[in-house]
């Protein structure tokens, strides 16, 4: 079996991860203590991709939970799912990263790194064949960004030929109370550009907008947006977790989605976006699913698919009664539209998993490599530049061992990435 190891770092990473495991357990018939109570063999056929079986029909998520302070990890230690997770894989340091990338990467992070790498090695040794790693983190947190980057770099060195994918949360800077988030984000991007194979980008502003405007939950909290994020992750991973007619794994996904190594920043979309209580009654048709996959209101990032070009896209469709013929027909219409560059043949694909998600009878999770992602990069570069021109706040980073050149390198790499994406913006 080709196993995937999950690593959740920092507060955002751990909170989103907890949601992801909740939904994954529901889909595989696993209760909050790890026992199987499902009704179909299909739930178990590929369960080893994400879970370890520790004894007969008792399953444990193959996930390492990491933070520098205790708060997010203690929350998991005391949650409803406390008996599901392996306590040896819940690891916290002594001191918070205090919103500082450099603490997470150099001082506090470096101290905890040997223990973390030992743990990850142990988890990897228990696998038949590690297929890859998936990281969950915010790019602007001290732990998620700094320690997350340190772990990604070290895993890349030690597991050179394995896939590293990340689910990376971009900050809502307009709502932020932390002034140095743009620095953290730029520094983290430096490592994501160098050392990941696939980075799925999400932004908190868009997710809060979905809560407000689409789901009409104006008082929505992180728990609500983490639920949407978990739904998307569940959608992306459906074809790895279940057998399906049109299947995928991490490597196939990368091969199909990423035309050039640097351009590995992916956006996602999801449909149906509906409040939980009405979801089950809606039987959304094939055409609507496809339209929504490409609709601006269903994107998980500030992306307007009408502006710029799709380099590649994949729709992961779930549901028993979906007509693959219809999906293929509609998707080739999309592929032939102006929104797709035409010089990559077959750059719009579908994958299919019969088993629907728990909440809906049908769904689609869209994954796209789209030139419009540059807007997100500009969004962190602008405030970064204003701060850095005046060298404001950088002493906090220098004091922890960061050299100014790393900020400049990060900035330059993002600018190059923006240039690389923009050159395809007007391609036929
Ligand atoms: N989507 C989502 N974003 C979160 C959550 N918690 C924090 N964030 C965002 O993540 C960024 C801060 O990162 P955190 O993950 O809190 O920080 P950390 O990695 O724990 O590191 P420290 O900053 O040192 O505490 C901010 O932009 C927050 O808006 C969460 O549960 N879900
Ligand atoms: Mg924290």
Pairing relationship of beta strands 163-170 and 129-138 according to DSSP bridges: parallel
Residue 282, pLDDT above cutoff 80? no
Q: Which pLDDT value is given to residue 249?
A: 81
Distances (CA, A) of 72 to 9, 44, 213, 379, 380: 9, 30, 29, 28, 26
From the CA atom positions of the chain, what is the Rg in Å?
21
97 C-beta closer than 6 A to ligand 1: yes
What's the 259 CA to ligand 1 centre distance in angstroms? 31
Q: Which pLDDT value is given to residue 48?
A: 95
139 touches 176 (CB < 8 A): no
228 C-beta closer than 6 A to ligand 1: no
Q: Which pLDDT value is given to residue 426?
A: 81
- Given phi > 0 = left and psi -120 to 50 = alpha, else beta, which region is 30? beta
| Non-local CB neighbours of 130 within 8 Å, separated by 6+ positions | 2, 3, 4, 5, 124, 159, 162
Q: Which pLDDT value is given to residue 427?
A: 80
- Given phi > 0 = left and psi -120 to 50 = alpha, else beta, which region is 299? beta
Rounded mean pLDDT, 165-169: 98
What's the 96 CA to ligand 1 centre distance in angstroms? 13
Residue 275, pLDDT above cutoff 90? no
Residue 410 and residue 146: Cα distance in Å, rounded?
Answer: 13
142 C-beta closer than 6 A to ligand 1: yes
Residue 248, pLDDT above cutoff 80? no
Domains for the chain: give ranges and CATH numbers: 2-249 (3.40.50.1440), 266-372 (3.30.1330.20), 375-422 (1.10.287.600)
Q: What is the mean pLDDT of the chain?
A: 94
- Name the closest-CA residue to atom 9, ligand 1: 12
Element (H, E) at 186: helix 181-195
What's the 160 CA to ligand 2 centre distance in angstroms? 29
What's the 234 CA to ligand 2 centre distance in angstroms? 24
The residue whose CB lies within 8 Å of the most ligand 1 atoms, and thus the one to mutate among 71, 168, 169, 203, is 169
Q: Which pLDDT value is given to residue 276?
A: 60
204 C-beta closer than 6 A to ligand 1: yes
What's the 197 CA to ligand 2 centre distance in angstroms? 26
What's the 355 CA to ligand 2 centre distance in angstroms? 36
pLDDT digits (tens, 9 = 90+) for 402-426: 999 999 999 999 999 999 999 999 8
140 C-beta closer than 6 A to ligand 1: yes
Residue 279, pLDDT above cutoff 60? no
Any alpha helices (H) in 310-403, and if so which ranges? 324-335, 374-389, 394-398
Any alpha helices (H) in 42-163, and if so which ranges? 42-45, 71-77, 101-105, 107-125, 148-158
Q: Which pLDDT value is given to residue 281?
A: 53
Note the ligand closest to the C-alpha atom of 141: 1
164 touches 4 (CB < 8 A): no
Residue 278, pLDDT above cutoff 80? no
Ligand 1 atom index nearest CA of 171: 27
pLDDT digits (tens, 9 = 90+) for 5-47: 999 999 999 999 999 999 999 999 999 999 999 999 999 999 9
Q: Which pLDDT value is given to residue 245?
A: 59
Burial of 193-205, coded b for 16+ CB within 10 Å and e otherwise, reads bebbbbbbbbbbb
314 touches 257 (CB < 8 A): yes
Q: Which pLDDT value is given to residue 105?
A: 98
281 touches 397 (CB < 8 A): no
Q: Which pLDDT value is given to residue 381?
A: 97
Residue 274, pLDDT above cutoff 90? no
What's the 94 CA to ligand 1 centre distance in angstroms? 18
- Name the closest-CA residue to atom 30, ligand 1: 12
Per-state percent for the chain, helix, strand, coil, to nearest 5: 50, 20, 30
pLDDT digits (tens, 9 = 90+) for 2-16: 899 999 999 999 999
């Amino acid at each position: 079996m080709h196993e995937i190891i999950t690593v959740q770092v920092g507060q955002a990473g751990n909170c989103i991860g907890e949601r992801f495991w909740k939904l994954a357990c529901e889909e595989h018939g696993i209760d909050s203590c790890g026992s199987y109570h499902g009704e179909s063999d299909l739930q178990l056929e590929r369960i080893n991709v994400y879970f370890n079986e520790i004894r007969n029909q008792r399953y444990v998520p193959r996930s390492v939970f990491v933070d520098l302070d205790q708060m997010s990890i203690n929350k998991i230690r005391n949650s409803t799912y406390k008996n599901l997770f392996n306590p040896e894989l819940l690891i916290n340091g002594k001191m918070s990263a205090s919103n500082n990338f450099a603490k997470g990467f150099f001082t506090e992070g470096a101290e905890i790194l040997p223990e973390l790498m030992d743990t990850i090695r142990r988890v990897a040794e228990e696998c038949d064949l590690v297929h890859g790693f998936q990281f969950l983190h915010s790019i602007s947190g001290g732990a998620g960004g700094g320690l997350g980057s340190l772990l990604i770099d070290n895993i890349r060195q030690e597991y050179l030929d394995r896939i590293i994918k990340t689910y990376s949360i971009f900050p809502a800077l307009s709502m932020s109370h932390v002034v140095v988030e743009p620095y953290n984000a730029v520094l983290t991007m430096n490592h994501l550009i160098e050392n990941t194979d696939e980075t799925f980008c999400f932004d908190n502003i868009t997710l809060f907008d979905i809560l407000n405007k689409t789901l009409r939950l104006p008082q929505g909290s992180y728990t609500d947006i983490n639920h949407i994020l978990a739904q998307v992750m569940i959608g992306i991973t459906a074809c790895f977790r279940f057998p399906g007619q049109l299947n995928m794994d991490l490597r196939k996904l990368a091969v199909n989605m990423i035309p050039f190594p640097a351009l590995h920043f992916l956006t996602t979309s999801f449909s149906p976006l509906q409040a939980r209580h009405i979801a089950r009654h809606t039987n959304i048709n094939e055409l609507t699913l496809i339209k929504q996959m490409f609709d601006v209101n269903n994107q998980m990032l500030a992306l307007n698919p009408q502006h710029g070009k799709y380099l590649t896209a994949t729709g992961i469709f779930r549901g028993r009664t979906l007509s693959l013929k219809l999906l293929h027909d509609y998707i080739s219409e999309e592929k032939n539209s102006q929104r797709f560059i035409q010089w990559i043949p077959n750059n719009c694909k579908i994958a299919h998993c019969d088993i629907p998600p728990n909440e809906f009878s049908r769904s689609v999770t869209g994954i796209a490599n789209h030139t419009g992602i540059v807007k997100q990069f500009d969004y962190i570069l602008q405030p970064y530049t204003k701060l850095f021109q005046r060298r404001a706040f950088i002493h906090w980073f220098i004091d922890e061992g960061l050299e100014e050149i790393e900020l400049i390198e990060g900035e330059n790499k993002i600018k190059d990435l923006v240039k690389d994406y923009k050159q395809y913006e007007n391609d036929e």
